[in-house]
Structure 1
Amino acid sequence: MPDVPAPPRQPASASVDLRVSKRILWIGAAVYPLHNIARVYTFVMRPKRKEAVLRFLRYTAGLLLIGFFAMVPGLIASSGGGDNSGAAGYVTVVWIAALGLEIYFIVELFSVLLASDHHVLAVETSGASTALVTSQNPQYLDQVVGQISYAIDHPDTEFKVTVQSLHFSPKNYYFGDNVNMYGGSGNVGISG
């Protein structure tokens, strides 16, 4: 029976083992064959603060418009002189719901505004998958990039390091390369 390495155990904390063994890169329980790795690099992942403020303003404006349109039936009923207690209750419910949504939008806004930058090591494969890990020490991540790059060209290389796992919402962070294109025709841009 061949000697198969045991899969790394899942640690209780946010740390994760990153290791190279027998031409395979393990990041926690995820497996990446070294020959499928297209790029390994580090970058600083920054929150999309400007976009979060613009999104908050857009959602708030939409919420106000919906609230005012919800008030129109109540205003029409009150101008007719009839009993408008049902319409007033309806408008109250709409504004309470709007207030609840606005509180949610404020919490979402501040979660992005107060988020910190992360030094990240990214491993991209020749397919669509990308792995991200982080560390408080960016030089440590640069060393790990060097070790992985060395292991790609040297099949006998094996090592194990500990890094931190990264949990984030992709809509709240800039991820990947920023490319400015000038001129040309038929370019297809994908923003993330």
Structure 2
Amino acid sequence: MEPTDPAGRPWNAPPPPPVPPLPRDAGIDLRVSKRLLWVGGAAYPLQNIARVYTLTIHPRRKEAIVRFCKSVAITLAVAIALTILGAVTAMGSEDVGGGIVTFVWYVTVAGLVYFLVELISVLSAQSHYVLAVETSGPSTAVVTSANREHLNQLVGYIAHAIENPEAEFQVKVESITISPRNYYFGDNVNMYGGTGNVGMAST
């Protein structure tokens, strides 16, 4: 039986049709050329690709709340401890002790605001339907689209290119950046786009 992609099409489907042009500098290229898969400026040899699949990634809301509570608890504990230390110091020199306490609580408030902003960014984040391309090494390229059918087609196109040396195609996609720390990606992988970030693409 001939293998099919998630949309039910044969893996040897023809190259994708052209997509509507995007505004200048609005996105990146996703293309296969000369046995290389290009995601923007990153190249992945087709023979090194271990898996191509689609999935929905969801924000790590529960982990974000737990992380926020832990960070707040630790920050307040340190601030209280330093306040007590400052109070003891103030017994010998009121100016020095008072200055230390004031500085500690300025830093504490700034830290609490940072933790709150980080929590809100995760709680308000949206889920993304993505296509992931894993290599035999530690890296993974990820693209996303509002059109799930388009991603399912790309799985077939990439699989077709892996099996057919002469196959080439190119599509234009928009790019966004998210942090793997804030999303469930299923397997533990290093995502394309740099430390703590993942290169995303949206059509």
Superposed CA deviations along residues 30-52 of structure 1, whole A, max 9, x for unmatched, are 11121111101111111111111
For 1:169-180, list aligned pairs within 5 A: 169-177=179-187
Q: Which amino acid aligns with 1:160?
A: Q
Cα 1:73–1:125 shift into 2, 3 Å: closer
Superposed CA deviations along residues 15-72 of structure 1, whole A, max 9, x for unmatched, are 2211112222121221112111110111111111111111110010011111111121
Cα 1:68–1:153 shift into 2, 3 Å: same
Partners of 2:124 and 2:52 in 1: how far apart?
A: 28
Q: Which structure 1 residue ranges, 5 or more long, are not aligned?
A: 1-10, 179-192
Aligned-residue offset at 1:165: 2.6
Aligned to 2:25: 12
Q: Does 1:131 align with 2:141?
A: yes
TM-score when normalising by structure 2: 0.74
Partners of 2:28 and 2:65 in 1: how far apart?
A: 33
Aligned to 1:107: 117
**More strand per residue:** 2
Partners of 1:168 and 1:25 in 2: how far apart?
A: 22
**Aligned pairs, number:** 165
Aligned to 1:189: none
Q: Does 1:60 align with 2:55?
A: no
Q: Which structure 2 residue ranges, 5 or more long, are not aligned?
A: 1-23, 189-203
Superposed CA deviations along residues 128-180 of structure 1, whole A, max 9, x for unmatched, are 221111111111101001111111112222211122334111211112338xx
Aligned to 1:72: 84
| Aligned CA-pair RMSD | 1.9
Partners of 1:74 and 1:154 in 2: how far apart?
A: 71
Partners of 2:153 and 2:63 in 1: how far apart?
A: 33
Aligned-residue offset at 1:83: 5.6
The structure whose Rg is larger is: 1
Cα 1:155–1:73 shift into 2, 3 Å: closer
- Aligned mate of 2:98, from 82, 88, 99: 88
Quick one: percent identity of the two aligned structures?
51
Q: Which amino acid aligns with 1:52?
A: A
Aligned-residue offset at 1:88: 2.1
- Aligned mate of 2:168, from 155, 158, 162: 158
State which drifts further: 167-176 or 44-53: 167-176
